[in-house]
């Protein structure tokens, strides 16, 4: 809806029906416009007619999946088995690295924890500065 003489688009009416936010002007227009109210009413009639049609469990599931996909606005993909394996391996690797990082350091050369934190911080500050100012 680009100006007050235009009626709400189908997408805007869909958003209103779904209870999603729309532009305030659109909401006000639809509330006071007989044509937009008629369009909203037609959809309510169609929805009621669709509810009357007997559907199998499979059809209901496909409709539900299509509805969820439309609401998300993006195609829904099931993660492949390899992605799950890769994600699990990644989580395991991170957990292992974190566990090794938390493991006690060698007793031969005890490290001052505070010194490590400052040394590491200094290194990362230097690295960030280097990346922001590559010539210096
Ligand atoms: Zn209208």
9 C-alpha vs ligand 1 centroid, how far in Å? 9
Residue with the two structure tokens 């210096």? 136
133 within some domain? no
Contact yes or no for 16/30 (Cβ under 8 A): yes
Q: Rounded to the nearest whole angstrom, what is the distance from the C-alpha of residue 96 to the centroid of ligand 1? A: 60
- Tokens representing 26 are 């659109």
The pLDDT assigned to 77 comes to 61
Query: What pLDDT, on the 0 to 100 scale, is given for residue 7?
Result: 94
* Residues 90-113: tens digit of each pLDDT: 888 888 887 887 776 655 555 555
**In terms of Cα–Cα distance, which of 111, 108, 129 is closest to 119?**
111
Assigned domain for 57 exists = yes
CA angle 22, 26, 27 (to 5 degrees): 75
Helices marked H in the chain: 10-18, 24-32, 34-52, 57-72, 81-102, 113-132
Q: Would 67 be classed as within a structural domain? A: yes
Question: Residues lining ligand 1 (ion), CB within 5 A?
Answer: 7, 33, 35-36
Q: Is residue 29 part of a domain?
A: yes
How far is Cα 46 from Cα 70, in angstroms, rounded to an integer? 18
User: Does residue 52 sit within a domain?
Assistant: yes
Whether 19 is covered by a domain: the verdict is yes
Report pLDDT digits (tens) over 28-57.
999 999 999 999 888 888 888 877 888 888
Total number of domains constituting the chain? 1
Q: What residue numbers bound the domain in which 61 lies?
A: 10-72
CA 1 to ligand 1 center in whole angstroms = 9
Query: Other CB atoms closer than 10 Å to residue 30's CB: what's the count?
Result: 20
Q: What is the pTM of this model?
A: 0.38
**Residue 35, in any domain of the structure:** yes
């Amino acid at each position: 809806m680009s100006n007050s003489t235009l009626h709400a688009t189908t997408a805007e009416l869909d958003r209103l029906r779904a209870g999603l936010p729309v532009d305030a002007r659109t909401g006000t227009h639809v509330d006071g416009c007989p044509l937009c109210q008629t369009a909203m009413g037609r959809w309510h009639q169609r929805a009621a007619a669709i509810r009357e049609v007997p559907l199998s469990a499979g059809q209901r599931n496909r409709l539900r999946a299509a509805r969820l996909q439309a609401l998300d606005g993006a195609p829904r993909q099931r993660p492949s088995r390899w992605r799950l394996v890769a994600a699990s391996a990644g989580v395991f690797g991170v957990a292992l690295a974190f566990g090794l990082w938390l493991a006690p350091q060698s007793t031969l050369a005890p490290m001052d924890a505070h010194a490590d934190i400052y040394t590491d911080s200094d290194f990362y500050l230097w690295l960030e500065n280097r990346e922001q100012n590559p010539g210096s």
